[in-house]
């Protein structure tokens, strides 16, 4: 999928280019910077960095990645947080935008970012996350690239605000209740009650019409997942590009769905497409059913997605941030 949020040590991530929060001067900083230099090869990387010279805040330059599992290492000079009134946000935004454009210029297919300036530089982590996702989203709306946002610890990824305040309560009301029922059983009417109810019903209510023949049932098959999907895309006047971008899908995967009428998507892919089409809950369930899938009240991931659909929030990045924050896999595919 075009944007993946992962929890890892960025010095161990495999990508065409890796972004490092760099010191303006030629020196090794603390924390992640030290880990990057040690894994890349301190002497070689310092020599390459020395040839670049002093960088101003917001600037980005690159060197070979040496011992890292990448071709390039980008050196992005992020700001030290003061009070938010000294252009810190604009400087961080510049780091993301210039890194993305540099990756495009170097024809990178993948790029890995840390949460720039959110560590020892003191930038508020939630604001740093919002800037990162906003910049990456804007770039991916017009370009195809796999972008990793690498988060090292749980403290770096916390969500708040009105939209997220009641997610936990919603999960408790749906997921936890369902899991408790699965664990301990639900309260079912006594068998005698069921028998008495059936006996009191008229025959027409107890028995359905005669079952259809197999041939008749096959002849009445509805649309496949792909048929329903592309009919709805056409009805909404959308383009394929708009849909797979909104769904956080890789272009090659979407092409596979388009070219294979019998394609069976994974649930995370089908749900991402439902989000891209802004389907309500009933239409989402119907689209999933075309691929023999279903929303489960016993799945924490499904409950979180349902939470956003019910509130008509169809931003795939917002949903995926909430899923990641709760330890669940993101929607999309590639």
Catalytic residues: 33
Residues 113/147, Cβ–Cβ less than 8 Å? yes
Give CA 50 to chain center in angstroms.
37
- Of 151, 63, 62, the closest CA to residue 102 belongs to 62
Q: Let me know: does 103 contact 16? Beta carbons within 8 Å.
A: yes
**CA atoms of 283 and 269, how far apart (whole Å):** 15
| Strand ranges for 127-275 from DSSP E | 146-151
- Whole-number Cα distances in Å, 153 to 10, 128, 157, 268: 12, 14, 7, 24
Residues 135/99, Cβ–Cβ less than 8 Å = no
Structure tokens given for 327: 């330890």
User: How far is Cα 330 from Cα 322, in angstroms, rounded to an integer?
Assistant: 9
Q: Residue 304 in contact with residue 167, Cβ under 8 Å?
A: yes
Measured distance CA(129)–CA(119) in Å, rounded: 12
Q: Facing residues of 75 across strands?
A: 20, 61
For residue 251, give the nearest of 238, 261, 242 by alpha carbon.
242
User: Residue 23, by phi and psi: left (phi above 0), alpha (psi -120 to 50) or beta?
Assistant: beta
In Å, the largest CA–CA distance within the chain is 90
Strand runs (DSSP E) across 117-256, as ranges? 146-151
Residues 130 and 118: their CA atoms lie apart, in Å, by: 11
Write the burial class of residue 92 (CB in 10 Å: 0-12 exposed, 13-18 middle, 19+ buried). Answer: buried
Reported as type and span, the H/E element at residue 7 is strand 3-7
């Amino acid at each position: 999928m075009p944007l993946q949020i992962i929890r890892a040590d960025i010095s161990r991530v495999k990508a065409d280019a890796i972004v490092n929060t760099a010191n303006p001067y030629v020196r090794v900083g603390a924390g992640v910077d030290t880990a990057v230099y040690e894994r890349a090869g301190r002497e070689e990387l310092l020599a390459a960095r020395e040839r670049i010279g002093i960088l101003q805040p917001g600037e980005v330059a690159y060197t070979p990645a040496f011992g890292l599992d990448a071709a390039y290492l980008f050196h992005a000079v992020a700001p030290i947080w003061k009070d938010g009134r000294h252009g810190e946000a604009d400087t961080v935004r510049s780091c993301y935008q210039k890194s993305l454009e540099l990756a495009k210029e170097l024809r990178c297919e993948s790029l890995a970012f840390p949460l720039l300036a959110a560590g020892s530089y003191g930038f508020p982590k939630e604001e740093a996350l919002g800037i990162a996702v906003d910049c990456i989203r804007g770039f991916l709306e017009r370009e195809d690239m796999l972008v990793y946002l690498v988060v090292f610890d749980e403290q770096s990824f916390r969500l708040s605000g009105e939209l997220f305040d009641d997610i936990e309560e919603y999960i408790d009301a749906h997921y936890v209740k369902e899991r408790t029922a699965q664990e301990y059983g639900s309260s079912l009417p006594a068998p005698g009650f069921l028998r008495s109810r059936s006996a009191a019903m008229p025959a027409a209510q107890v028995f359905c019409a005669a079952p259809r023949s197999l041939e008749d049932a096959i002849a009445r098959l509805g649309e496949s997942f792909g048929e329903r999907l592309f009919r709805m895309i056409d009805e909404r006047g959308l383009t394929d590009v708009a849909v797979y971008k909104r769904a956080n899908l890789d272009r090659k995967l979407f092409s596979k769905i388009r070219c294979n009428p019998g394609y069976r998507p994974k649930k995370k892919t089908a749900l991402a497409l439902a989000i891209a089409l802004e389907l309500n809950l009933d239409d989402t369930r119907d689209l999933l059913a075309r691929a023999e899938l279903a929303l489960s009240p016993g799945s924490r991931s499904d409950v979180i997605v349902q939470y956003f659909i019910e509130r008509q929030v169809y931003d795939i990045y917002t949903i995926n941030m909430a899923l990641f924050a709760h330890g669940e896999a993101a929607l999309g595919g590639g």
